[in-house]
Amino acid sequence: MSQRPGEAQLPHLFKPGRLGRYPTRNSIKYGACCVSNYNTRDGYITPRELARTRVIANTGCGIITNQGAYPDAKGEGKSYFRMVALYDDKFLPQFETIAGYIHEAGAVAIQQILHAGRYGGIDLGYCVQPSVVPQTLPHFRPPREMSKDDIRRCIQEHVDASRRAIKAGFDGVEVTSFMGYLLASFNSKFTNQRTDEYGGSLENRGRFMRELIDAVKQALPEHPFIVRLNGAELMDQWGGNSEDECFELMKQAAGCGVDMISVTVGWQEAPESSIGRDVAPGYWNYLAARAKRECPDTLIAFGNRLPDPRMANDCLAKGEFDYWEVCRPMLADPELVHKAAEDRLDEVRRCIGSLNCLSRVFRDLPYSCTMNPALGHEVEPEYAVTPAAVKKKIMVIGAGPAGMEFAITARRRGHEVTVYDRAERIGGNLLGYASRDLARPDDLLSVVRHYEVMAAKLGVEMKLKTEANAKLMRSVLHQYDVCVVAAGARIDLGAYDGMPGRERLVDALEVAAGRVEVGRRVVVVGAGKIGLVVAEFLKKDGAEVTLVEADKRIAGDVMPTFKWRHTAWVEELEIPVLTSTRLLRVTDDGAVVADAKGVETTLPADTVIAAAPRVANQALFAEFEWMVDELHGCGDALMPRGMDAAIHEGYRLGARI
């Protein structure tokens, strides 16, 4: 095959490599991205999973790692309700199919063995770990200490599962020892408080890992063995390993002859982020570079918070690691490697680090991706983008994520699409919200840029600075076959009608968009995500800010894996929060509020900002009902929610119109 244009620009990324005796076509490893939860409760792989893995097989990676399978019949290693199992030959047929997909696509096939240890035993009511160290998170199971017999049996179960993986056609195996899973809990002084030869010193804490590596290597000497290890636990608060100790453990693994070390970051219990959008891309690269320096003869794979192929290529050029290990960026866009190779990186749907995937998995749901509505639905024809049976002329009202996702999906199917929006630019309310985000504005703004690029490339007609209303619709009557209302949501200032000082209230979305000036002293009413973002950026900008929330807790509409981040920011910025509190009136002095007992307080303020309640912009449904053949809606125009629902609904509607 001739070299594609992007391959010449990213030569280190597309440089062939070798894992053990197996050549790899490039220096990219698809990482096992947690587990999908697409499978059966008793560990069998489903058609849904097979369809997903066929897509993964075709991502273009040189090495592809299948998601972790638990190795024990009892289920002590099982961490998720729908996790796949590999403790018996009865599971092999579907693993054989997956290995076949990977080989057909020209990649090296690796099967991960995942014993969850401290986070396992999901069906048992207990978990196993080296010592009885209480859980810091209440949803995990109470621990039982493993005996030496348990340790020996567990090692044998890993050997047996590894043999089955090879029998199924995989080229090698990977054992995961991070995130607080079993090997990590033996390695860490937080959870390993044993006094026998498996505890105490760092040498002893690493004994279980070394014995397991040695046992698998002896059983399968011709096949590559990979271990995933923490470069940083982020568990200092709980007395976990230091980075120096993490790297000493890596050197122990390298000394056992592992073929590759995958460097990872964090535990599930870690009180700080490792892969969310509050972590800048490239932040953890120093861990990979250190691993390569300290284990120079062992292949190093790395990809934590490293979503950009260009940055990965630069790291490879500098010798910071040997393989770019990528997972979530290819959940967001399975075509990422191909787009890089074809010099189409401007078309990539970037992983924005919203961690919708983890939010769902940690609640025992099948994982999904904000940016990829088809993830997990590859087996369903309804989610495929196929040529439309009848080409239609479609008008879309609203250029936010829902409207734009619909527009580009419908256009890909052959429809003629025109998008109307009163703003000067694509993006809707997301533009203001994203530009004020303390985490990483560029990640959220990349969503807007993606829609701008794809609208131009696909030929979606954009009519910006155009108000869509009944008058407009009458002027274009019968020119369109379909109208899709994706007009988003607004702050319902009407909810404050009759309240003294109502005219003094300022709209939070207008503040976020930069269309309203605010004073030095600010009260924000509503501590959902809009109110939090506005309060945080104003406080960061030097204002005195107080948050008022009617509910008992803040961040009620924030994605579960990001609630803690807003809570932490509020604490770090020292923003006073009054929960179970409602706004009574706005005066010259500020905001008068009442707590749950009715006690009134005046909060001094130059500006009072309403960030709640949010209501859908639904008026156009009634106005357009008798003006167009088909009338549909999607996103916040149906009910105020978030970007995830907006993108997914826009896609689903676009795929079926």
Q: Would you list the domain boundaries of the chain?
A: 5-361, 396-488+617-656, 491-614
pLDDT of residue 355: 78
Chain center to CA of 539: 27
User: What integer pLDDT is reported at residue 359 of this predicted model?
Assistant: 76
Residue 139 has pLDDT above 80, yes or no: yes
Instruction: Return the CATH superfamily for domain 396-488+617-656.
Output: NAD(P)-binding Rossmann-like Domain (3.40.50.720)
Q: In the 8-state DSSP scheme, what is residue 201?
A: S
Say whether pLDDT at 559 is over 90: no
Would you state the pLDDT for residue 31?
96
For residue 604, with 0-12 CB atoms within 10 Å meaning exposed, 13-18 middle and 19 or more buried, which class applies? exposed
**564 pLDDT higher than 90:** no
Does 183 have pLDDT greater than 90? yes
The Cα–Cα gap between 92 and 167 comes to: 8
pLDDT of 439 strictly over 70: yes
pLDDT greater than 90 at residue 409: yes
pLDDT band at 134 (very low <50, low <70, confident <90, very high): very high
The pLDDT value given to residue 192: 98
Q: What is the pLDDT of residue 566?
A: 93
Query: Among 57-66, 273-282, 584-593, 628-637, where is mean pLDDT lowest?
Result: 273-282
With beta carbons less than 8 A apart as the criterion, state whether 120 and 128 touch: yes
- pLDDT, average across residues 305-312: 95
CATH class of 491-614: alpha beta
**pLDDT tier at 261 (50, 70, 90 boundaries)?**
very high
Task: Determine how β-strand 299-302 pairs with β-strand 416-421.
Answer: unpaired
**Fold topology of 5-361:** TIM Barrel (3.20.20)
Percent with pLDDT over 90 in the chain: 90
Query: Does the pLDDT of residue 237 top 80, yes or no?
Result: yes
What single-letter amino acid sits at 461? E
Q: What is the DSSP string of 254-291?
A: HHTT-SEEEEEE-BTT-SS-SSSTTS-TTTTHHHHHHH
Residue-level pLDDT at 56:
97
- 77-88 pLDDT per residue, tens: 999 999 999 999
Cα separation, 449 vs 33, in Å, equals 26
Asked if pLDDT for residue 1 goes beyond 70, the answer is: no
Best CA proximity match to 260, nearest among 155, 154, 110, 116: 110
For residue range 496-536, what is the model confidence (pLDDT) as tens digits? 999 999 999 999 999 999 999 999 999 999 999 999 999 99
Residue 356: pLDDT above 90?
A: no
Banded pLDDT at 440 (limits 50, 70, 90): confident
Q: Which pLDDT score, from 0 to 100, does residue 353 have?
A: 82
Quote the strand ranges of 273-319, DSSP E: 299-302
